[in-house]
Structure 1
Amino acid sequence: MEARTFKNPILPGCYADPSICRVGEDYYMVTSTFEYFPGVPIFHSKDLVNWRQLGHVLDRPSQLDLDGTPCSKGIYAPTIRYHEGTFYMVTTFVESATGARKNFYVTAHDPAGPWSDPHWLQDAPGIDPSLFFDDDGRCYYTGNRQPPGGQQYPKHMEIWLQELDLRTHQLVGPKISLWDGALKLAHAQEASHLYKIDGYYYLIIAEGGTGFTHSVTIARSERLTGPYEACKMNPILTHRHLGQQHPIANVGHADFVQTQNGDWWLVCLGSRPYGGHYRNLGRETFLAPFIWENGWPVVNPGKGIIETEMPRPSLPEHRWPTQPACDHFDSPTLRHEWNFIRTPRGEFWSLAKRPGYLRLKLKPETVMEEANPSFVGRRQQHIDFAARVAMEFSPQSEREAAGLVLLENTDFQYRMEISRGPGGGSALVIRLIQRREGTDTVLAEQAVPAEAGAGAAAGKAAELRERRLYMKVEAIGQSYSFYYAVQAEQWFALYENADGTILSVDVGGGFTGTYIGMYATAHGATSDNFADFDYFEYMPI
């Protein structure tokens, strides 16, 4: 029997700012990626609940140059739309710590790609762009900006509209002010989308900032250019009135979709705080139904909020084959869940140098600086989880290290790494390093037993066996525990019950959730050395 309810979030982990469109009986969705590469994951669904990742929209360095991009800058709030055989994805690239930004769009005939190189838009201020195709086929761009008359209160923004010429790939005609707030002193007006429904143009907006006071508001007009009438029920969706003990927080940034059966649903972002108001998983993607009453949307009628379990859409359930929890790196390409920090530069990773292993070359860069380190990671997607790796690595100096990292940003992280002992001796040590506010503290250090290779054949085989080590992290809520083994499944505790709250945006700042990954570094030195990872396993517990 098909399930009658579904679980929120539909995309767990740091999948923020969702945008959705439907083509026939197929649904496509994209989310933000900030400083991570490839950019903008694209997902496909038949039933709005079960999603498979097709790939990434921005998967080539020619599309996305993240060199020097600070943490939590980069790619913001993509919008996906479909018109007459072509998919469009428009987004903002925030390129500097001062907020310098550029807006662009790319196109494709197949949502799985390839997508075009960017069409950079001139004189397109603000963030969170969206596209709207009117009945006559003309395309319009919406975004946010400071009001031409100046801001009347902190973070006061307005939503503006301009036509986009798809032949020249540029904005044309006048900029038209559409909206500057549903409520007095509602701030951070952004994330607008336009729709035409039953003769009205509807404009939805995210207001209140992307934190606890986040919300969705809506206005409508009989004319594209306005004036727009505010819905008297605004905000039509928020959780800010539910208090900080509610299991879903900072709900907002919505996009609408109508099913082939005529039903209406929205996707939006939200977070699941745990262990206090800490959001290690970042901002995730949620799904909710709504109906129309008197020309206005009513979200989740009778309740008005996003719930963790809700009735399913009236669509045939369509599940996709599940990926194994353990990646043995047997494929010629990395699985879609893996990311780099910023655009990968140099040939520092390989699945071909040693088939069945991910090889990471030691780079001078580290995960403690805003650079492109030798790192391959994925999102933490569950409150309780376990992740483990098998690594073969022989550090040649005390500067060389490789291992497992849990990353909030450059200044807040845990690193479980193998390196040489003090003075560069031959002994290997495993360390757990907590980095908080940019300061490293060694929480635990343990010599790796020399008899790790006991029983192995003599010579080269023994050498390889001696440098194989297993590492594991287990999290139960905000308690993170770290283990190592020199023989498979014979685990020793390195450090237990470490404070996980430093991996929350509420401590470390920014917009992303926790990433878990493999890395290798020579700490500023040039090295030809490398680390081989036999597998990486991630699973909820």
Structure 2
Amino acid sequence: MRTLKLILSGWKSLSLLLFAILCFSTEASGRGKVTKNAPVFTHFTYQGEDAIYKNNTLKPDEFYNPILQGCYPDPSITRKGNDYYLVCSSFAMFPGVPIFHSNDLVNWKQIGHVLDRTSQLKVEECGISAGVYAPAIRYNPGNDTFYMITTQFSGGFGNIVVKTKEPEKGWSDPIKLQFDGIDPSLFFDDNGKAYVVHNDAPPQGQERYSGHRVIKIWDYDIENDRVVPGSDKIIVNGGVNIEEKPIWIEAPHIYKKDGRYYLMCAEGGTGGWHSEVVFVSDNPKGPYLPASSNPILTQRYFPVNRENKVDWAGHADLVEGPDGKYYGVFLGIRPNEKSRVNTGRETFILPVDWSGTFPVFENGLVPMKPTLKMPAGVENMTGENGFLPNGNFVFDDDFSAKKLDLRWIGLRGPREEFINITGKGLRITPFPINIKEVKPTSTLFYRQQHSHFTASVTMDYRAKTSNELAGITCYQNERYNYVFGITKKEKSDYLILERTEKGKSILVGEVKIEAEKPITLQVAASGDDYRFNYSTDGEKFQNLGGTVSGDILSTNIAGGFTGAMIGLYATLANDK
């Protein structure tokens, strides 16, 4: 009898232990922390309302430019048969380097991210505009392999290359390349040889002015994935004409056409003087002669207050289209009425006239229009059948899908460390980290893609202490952002609006609320004017803080290279 009691007692202890483990495993997320008092988000809706799309309705044979709205800068493109792949810079966003696929250059699907593992991407301690810069994607028909080469300014990487046979199925871990500088690109010649070109500083003691850079080329060993030591050579010094002191010759790409080699680069910096220039040579290692008609793409010569303004055009890459014509992708910005750059640098495309010696972007030297003619035989299916939407569109996410939409991103760390998709919605496990810290934050971001938009989300949450907060953020970087969320003050629930500028935070508004029921949080932007609203019944909205300026969400105020993002945010380190 005593033995039986001991057995039953043992089973009871074991059962309790198993129950505790089960409870822990079902509630665990975010670095193994037990989820306690975590907010649950449902029904996220983002709606673009830009007048440019209302006033420029598409004709049956047209599509909108840019092709990727919001912060998708520094595009690079390659082709294998009828498959086109495009990548963009991602800086400290995680996962990194979004990759897109198309068969026609008009309709694009995001198929993933090139750098989606912690072994590939180490951006835990860098500002949002550091990390991964200017990726270049290339297909080598000689070994049927895709390569992505980039500079990762973090984690001790430097210049790296990753590769794959199938871009949809993932990429290798990074291979470090032994050279300095930035913006590397690979070129695979049809004779089996390969080269790396990149931006670099001029030789020590030879810098002639601020912004003086050079373009270098190296032989590339395909079998061992390395640059050949001692093979480096400067092929462009300063830019098209060094006597005019051109700045920031960068983002080089080499192409071969009709037996000759063409080197295309950005010049003038990534701001208002940005442009694209081209050189030609009979040898991949030069000497390269500039086109007499440079630049071949720029928006720098036109009136500041022009209608439907596109600016900062440059950092381009070329590809042959399905109709046999060349096309170029490049970055540009669309500032709002106060010249703020809240949507960041976006991906545009233009046809390229290469009927003469040098390629020239068609209508790339006149003020750009919001619509383009489609390549012959292509049907516009944007926003349908999984293709990314364009123009004014609505993005709805009730977080019921098994996999998170690829447009959601984290910052400095994997999303999977703080999110769980549950039967009730998206649960975010709060980190003991504030959004103003240069660390991985428990925030899920969606890019701002319009100057005029409304974004809303319903949240079920009740803070227990003043250190806890959950809500939404409009975020440019760690030193410039808005936070709109629920926290605890003494024994009451408060909804607060906080503005952070130059790292210093002020309380714009607060209101005592009853947080027993879910609350809907909304941000509505009209150009530079932002309004933060809330609703306790999902229908009638009240404003908190009045109309506030979106100035701190603009790169020309906050600095850096990214666009504004809307985040679903939770923290255990609230400081207001």
2:273 to 196, 200, 213: 213
Aligned to 2:565: 515
Aligned to 1:477: 527
Q: How does 1:433-444 map to 2 (within 5 A)?
A: 433-444=498-509
User: Once the two structures are aligned, what percentage of the paired residues are identical?
Assistant: 39
2:554 to 476, 486, 504: 504
Which structure has the greater CA radius of gyration? 2
Deviations 1:480-505 (A, max 9, x none): 11111111222112233210121000
1:321 to 380, 385, 394: 385
In 2, distance between residues paired with 1:447 and 1:504? Answer: 31
TM-score of the aligned structures, taking structure 2 as reference length: 0.84
In 1, distance between residues paired with 2:399 and 2:336? Answer: 33
Aligned to 2:11: none
Shift, 1:524, TM fit: 7.3
Q: How many residues align?
A: 501
2:96 to 35, 39, 50: 39
Pairing 1:394–2:459 present: no
* One-letter amino acid matched to 1:52: K
Pairing 1:102–2:167 present: no
* One-letter amino acid matched to 2:219: E
Aligned to 1:169: 225
TM-score of the aligned structures, taking structure 1 as reference length: 0.89
* One-letter amino acid matched to 1:493: N
2:485 to 399, 417, 435: 417
Aligned to 1:532: none
In 2, distance between residues paired with 1:6 and 1:20? Answer: 19
Aligned to 1:17: 74
Shift, 1:333, TM fit: 2.2
Aligned to 1:333: 403
* One-letter amino acid matched to 2:200: R
Please, which moves more after superposition, 63-72 or 32-41? Answer: 63-72
* One-letter amino acid matched to 1:152: R
Please, which moves more after superposition, 373-382 or 255-264? Answer: 255-264
In 2, distance between residues paired with 1:299 and 1:269? Answer: 13
Aligned to 1:143: 198
Deviations 1:94-153 (A, max 9, x none): 128xxx87011111111112111101112x111111010001122211111112262111
Pairing 1:487–2:546 present: no
Deviations 1:406-437 (A, max 9, x none): 0001111111010012xx21x21101111111
Pairing 1:89–2:148 present: yes
Please, which moves more after superposition, 436-445 or 319-328? Answer: 319-328
2:301 to 226, 234, 241: 241
* Runs (5+) with no aligned partner, structure 2: 1-57, 389-393
Pairing 1:407–2:493 present: no
Aligned to 1:261: 323
In 1, distance between residues paired with 2:370 and 2:329? Answer: 14
In 2, distance between residues paired with 1:140 and 1:467? Answer: 61
Structure 1's 496 and 250: CA in aligned 2 closer, same or farther, altered over 3 A? same
* One-letter amino acid matched to 2:405: R
Shift, 1:244, TM fit: 2.7
* Runs (5+) with no aligned partner, structure 1: 453-465, 526-541
In 1, distance between residues paired with 2:356 and 2:207? Answer: 33
Aligned to 2:111: 54
* One-letter amino acid matched to 2:114: V
Shift, 1:298, TM fit: 2.3
Contact 1:143 1:161 in 2 (8 A): yes
Deviations 1:41-100 (A, max 9, x none): 00111221221111101111111011211220001000111113211111111128xxx8
In 1, distance between residues paired with 2:377 and 2:133? Answer: 31
In 2, distance between residues paired with 1:419 and 1:208? Answer: 47
Q: How does 1:191-202 map to 2 (within 5 A)?
A: 191-202=251-262
Shift, 1:394, TM fit: 1.6
* One-letter amino acid matched to 1:350: N
Contact 1:2 1:317 in 2 (8 A): no
In 2, distance between residues paired with 1:347 and 1:229? Answer: 51
Shift, 1:2, TM fit: 7.7
1:114 to 147, 170, 176: 170
Contact 2:415 2:444 in 1 (8 A): no
Please, which moves more after superposition, 293-302 or 80-89? Answer: 293-302
Contact 1:298 1:304 in 2 (8 A): no
SS in 1 for 2:435: coil
Aligned to 1:357: 425
SS in 1 for 2:545: strand
Contact 1:47 1:318 in 2 (8 A): no
Shift, 1:156, TM fit: 0.6
In 1, distance between residues paired with 2:213 and 2:499? Answer: 39
Contact 2:299 2:366 in 1 (8 A): no
Deviations 1:189-211 (A, max 9, x none): 11000000011100000010001
SS in 1 for 2:301: helix
Deviations 1:327-351 (A, max 9, x none): 1111222110011110238832211
SS in 2 for 1:497: strand
Contact 2:275 2:297 in 1 (8 A): yes
SS in 2 for 1:69: coil
In 1, distance between residues paired with 2:169 and 2:267? Answer: 33
Aligned to 1:531: none
In 2, distance between residues paired with 1:118 and 1:382? Answer: 34
Q: Which has the higher contact order (CA 8 A, sep 6+)?
A: 2
Please, which moves more after superposition, 320-329 or 495-504? Answer: 320-329
SS in 1 for 2:169: coil
Contact 2:264 2:277 in 1 (8 A): yes
Contact 2:63 2:380 in 1 (8 A): no
In 2, distance between residues paired with 1:315 and 1:46? Answer: 12
